[in-house]
Chains A and B, each alone.
Chain A
């Protein structure tokens, strides 16, 4: 049956099981929007295309399914790019569809023309420009296959307006011919044997669990593996949720703002098992002094990550779940009580210095907000954070036990991510309690999506952590630039009034005692609620490994504060 290119776009989306797309119309994508009305796909009208990209990304991260965003040519497409790069750095399976000017005027600087495949080439897993209606179905099919396969990522399909308008027979290809798409191979037997041998010999082993645990659905397999070999587990930021933080073997987050005892354990380990993580600089600190005593086993689906930052002794280029299933039976049952005891001593010392035990002197501390949010929600919410200090405090004090319950921009560190990504996450998991946790800086970047939230009648709770500063930058200025606060003090609108303008109930919290009751009240309110937490302005995230420093050389919380610590 003959279909227009525009109809083929929707036919393809329906075939791929897409039920929700996020987008913004415009001239070059207009034929596709016109066809949309005839298809059972819900379209979410965003207020800025960056929001559409983050929504698609948030949808993908919350569900594991491909998120889809649509925009027009030129500025529509360029507005997507921050979100595309965010999805790229965090390997989020997403498909972006952009309208392009008619093929007859391509390359002539036509109105709203931009070289979109050129611009997005380095920030997509793959992209295609389609100028012929006969290629749309195949290109759409390929886009979904590529986005999902191996290490997932964003794929962009740029379709000229005339291709959307032209007609052809619609046949959706079952298979794709992509000789360059290499499906992951089973783990290599010799490497498995060597890995098992290293694990057998290790006395101070440590698992470094990254986003790959969540992406590959390996959480249960990881629990079984860690328990059998009794190996403690440290998490990357994006690995949080991949291994339950209430599990006795869970150490929590590693790296720049990981707890000192976790980083210390990495530096003293004799074997690191890196599972679905890529030795990012925020995790390793100075590579020259990183984990010098440890043999390293790297299980990673992306071969180009092997040896990129850290030389490893055994590499298993495979799907993590397949590798864990293969390793499980051949790994010996072991006890590492001495090693765990040593780690526990460090953990106890960390606890004794923890700000969470500090008595409130009237000021509200952001870590306390995170801790109380965790306690009040029972740890069961999907938390979508922005980027900065609040993000690190959330990672430190909200204890996630389930995969896909923390959604955050790790690799790119994109401010403005939280609100739109939470909207995407809510569509992916309508029954989940979804919280936005954002700073005053990041929230103001994409707060226009409050209108989207209301237009879609979404029940999302919003916590704005307002310290009147671009807090993380201010912290770096405090530590490394003699407290010269260049361009970091920041004025906020009255968030309660702002929410009111969108008809969203809102509260302002200034003291610790109000945190739990107001959070609980928000939870019991149907529909969105915004809570502004006015927190201490100049609190810093501790501990901290300064960028490029040795992992064991952390800046700890100043000791005068420890005098007030309760154990």
Chain B
């Protein structure tokens, strides 16, 4: 199963290296990892999707929590969240086919952000399933290049409630 962990980490040199090193040496399997700034200047936020077939999510979260620059880890897998993944997709297209791509994009609330003679770049934001859906539709037309950011997640509702409801990263049993 896949678990989504949100970690608040101190914005220091080498933090990503520490997290990556932990996952490597413990043989935890990362599906995706994103890192970015937060509302607090000294704190960065990582969203880590981890495959827990071999190791329990509680062990992964507790191991992360042991890293000194990691301030907090919450497993948001079973919480209501807003999940977003962003993809840029370069699709082969002739000028005649552009309209078709554009209408597909409309359905997915995606946008064409660059147009060239034989291709366009499509930008899509959404949860991973939605992005997967568009990718599958575009694939037969010829995806020349693609990049996805990986998932970022935020728990829905008021912040205070979120904190109160969030399960301990490490349950007692």
Contacts and interface: CB of A to CB of B under 8 A. Distances in A.
Contact of B10 (A121, A122, A179, A314): A179
Nearest to B12: A128
Interface in B44-95: 56, 58-59, 62-63, 65-72
Nearest to A187: B172
B21 A303 contact: no
A302 B17 contact: no
Contacts of A122: 21, 25
B173 A315 contact: yes
B14 interface: yes
A308 B60 CA distance: 9
Interface string A264-285: 0000000000000000000000
B68 A307 contact: no
B173 A181 contact: no
A383 B149 CA distance: 56
A303 B65 contact: yes
B170 interface: yes
Contacts of B98: none
A304 B73 CA distance: 13
Contacts of B58: 303, 306-307
A539 interface: no
A314 B69 CA distance: 29
Contacts, number: 59
Given A180-B10, A308-B59, A121 B172 contact: no
When A and B form their complex, which 6 residue pairs have the shortest distance between CB atoms, in order from nearest?
A: A304-B62, A179-B71, A303-B62, A303-B170, A304-B63, A126-B68
28 contacts: A117-B14, A118-B17, A121-B14, A121-B17, A121-B18, A122-B21, A122-B25, A125-B68, A178-B68, A179-B72, A180-B10, A180-B65, A180-B68, A180-B70, A180-B71, A188-B172, A190-B172, A303-B65, A304-B62, A304-B63, A304-B65, A306-B58, A306-B59, A306-B170, A313-B173, A314-B172, A315-B173, A316-B172
Interface of B: 9-10, 14, 17-18, 21, 25, 56, 58-59, 62-63, 65-72, 170, 172-173
Interface of A: 117-118, 121-122, 125-126, 146, 178-182, 188, 190-191, 302-304, 306-308, 312-317
Given A307-B58, A308-B59, 5 more contacts: A118-B17, A121-B18, A303-B66, A307-B59, A314-B173
